Amino acid sequence: MSRTGTRRWPAAHAHPILATMEALGTRRIRFRRTFHGGSFVVAIELVLLVAVVAIASGLGRAGGGGAEPSDRPSASPIVTPSPSPTPIPSPTPIPSPTPTPTPTPTPAPAPTPSPARPPLPVCFYGDLPTEHDAYADWSFTLLDTIHRLPSTYYPADLVDTSAAGLNGGYRVRALVLADLAAMAQAARAAGTPFELVSAFRSYANQQATFARWVRVGGYDAALRTSARAGHSEHQLGTAIDVSTPGGPRPWEYRDWATTPAGAWMAEHAWQFGFVMSYPRDSFAPTCYDYEPWHYRYVGRDPAAAIRASGLTPREFLWGLQ
């Protein structure tokens, strides 16, 4: 306590109690100034001190983090509301895949056909070399009143027709022989045998033949019934003229196709690779009169195709040139 009777306290920041007392010091001085009795002043200070201690004690309990439990009701804990469960979204339906349409294949372009051969011309007489004059082209070599073989065309594989079981003295190419023999045998088996009256003719032989027909009926008539040299299918070595054994020449019949042998040939020759070159009523497409005795060997498959086509051999071969 100082000279003036005022007690000195430690700095206010030393302890919260002291700070509280320091804050109350002004009131203490006021009381002292009012009451001058010494004992009364002491009593007042004691009372104040007790009050301050009580207050400080309460402040200590309030400020300490780990103090004893207080009788004061503890604050209700802050209840953190549980988050509402996040709703599980309904699964988004997976759309069915739209089927990819199968593209319509673009058709491949058809090959451009070769320019079509001009249609058969009206009958006239020319001397154009045929387009296929090799010996290997015998099946589709075109010979008519316009197209011809060279005079040197002479097959080297000619054989006598007696090798086919027929009358001899005529020749055909060896490649004809097997089917010719089969046809002759089939005709005999059917009771309608035939015989040969002509086969291969060279260029020179055909010159003589045509000249003979000119003498018989004149040039114009000969053109309808006989071929000029180079234009005859006989020069190929694959054509034959047939007739009834022991009978007259076939052109001497009114219609040799009406005889048993002639009818059988007209019906069955194609099955063995032979076709009638100049059918009935076919002058316009063939430029020759009807010759039911003249057959050309083209092979079995080509003969079947020609028959199925309904065309004459010349019309069919024209389309192959």
Name residues whose C-beta falls within 8 Å of residue 25's C-beta, 6 or more positions apart in sequence: 9
Strand 195-198 and strand 239-243: the pairing is antiparallel
Looking at residue 48, what is its pLDDT? 46
Answer yes or no: is pLDDT of 52 > 70: no
> Of how many residues is the chain composed?
321
Name residues whose C-beta falls within 8 Å of residue 159's C-beta, 6 or more positions apart in sequence: 171, 172, 173, 174, 177
Spatial contact of 311 and 275, defined as CB atoms under 8 Å apart: no
* Rounded CA separation 68/6 (Å): 36
Looking at residue 180, what is its pLDDT? 98
List helix spans (H) across the chain. Answer: 16-34, 38-63, 174-189, 203-217, 219-225, 260-268, 283-286, 300-309, 313-318
* Rounded CA separation 130/140 (Å): 10
DSSP letters, 222-289, are: HHHHSPPTTS-GGGGT-EEEEE-TTS--GGGSS-GGGSHHHHHHHHHGGGGTEEEEE-TT-HHHHSS-
Tokens of 166: 């027929």
Q: If you average pLDDT over residues 184-205, what whole number do you get?
A: 98
Looking at residue 277, what is its pLDDT? 98
Block residue for tokens 């040039």: 219
Q: Which of 92-96, 101-105, 210-214 has the lowest mean pLDDT?
A: 101-105
Answer yes or no: is pLDDT of 174 > 80: yes
Q: If you average pLDDT over residues 23-33, what whole number do you get?
A: 42
Q: If you average pLDDT over residues 57-61, what whole number do you get?
A: 45
Answer yes or no: is pLDDT of 255 > 70: yes
For residue 283, give the amino acid letter.
F
Q: Which residues pair with 198 in a beta bridge?
A: 241
Task: Give the H/E segment covering residue 160.
Answer: strand 158-160
CA-nearest of 206, 249, 254 to 229 is 206
Burial tier of 268 (Cβ tally within 10 Å: 0-12, 13-18, 19+) = middle
Answer yes or no: is pLDDT of 173 > 70: yes
Q: Is 101 helix (H, G, I), strand (E, B) or coil?
A: coil
